[in-house]
Amino acid sequence: MDAPPAKGASGEERLQAEAAKKLLFMRIMDQGARRRMNNIRVANQGFADQVEGAILRLIQSGRVRIVDEGTLISIINQMRGEKRETRITRK
């Protein structure tokens, strides 16, 4: 689990690092989690990168081995914090 490539890294090194990261996520995430992660990436690229970073930290620390959809949802909820519920009352 290497660090992300430096900004000055060549295009080939960057592609290799991305391919290695993609392969790692294919191994540690189940199909539901990968599908949800792809949806997040389409909606918000920056947040998807943050979630991937959090997953990598959890894997490196040994707190998580496999990421299923439920684990991914709990990671996302922790990163977002608690959302306030919006109630609309009509008079």
Domain assignment present for residue 38? The answer is yes
Q: How far apart are CA 42 and CA 28, in angstroms?
A: 20
Domain assignment present for residue 85? The answer is no
Domain assignment present for residue 24? The answer is yes
pLDDT at residue 41 in the model: 93
Domain assignment present for residue 70? The answer is no
How big, in percent rounded to 5, are the helix, strand and coil portions of the chain? 65, 0, 30
The tokens for 69 are 């959809």
The predicted model scores a pTM of 0.70
What residue numbers bound the domain in which 37 lies? 6-62
Q: How far apart are CA 89 and CA 91, in angstroms?
A: 7
Please answer whether residues 71 and 29 qualify as being in contact, where contact means their C-beta atoms are separated by less than 8 angstroms.
no
Condensed to tens digits (0 to 9), the pLDDT of residues 21-52 reads 888 889 999 999 999 999 999 999 999 999 99
Domain assignment present for residue 55? The answer is yes
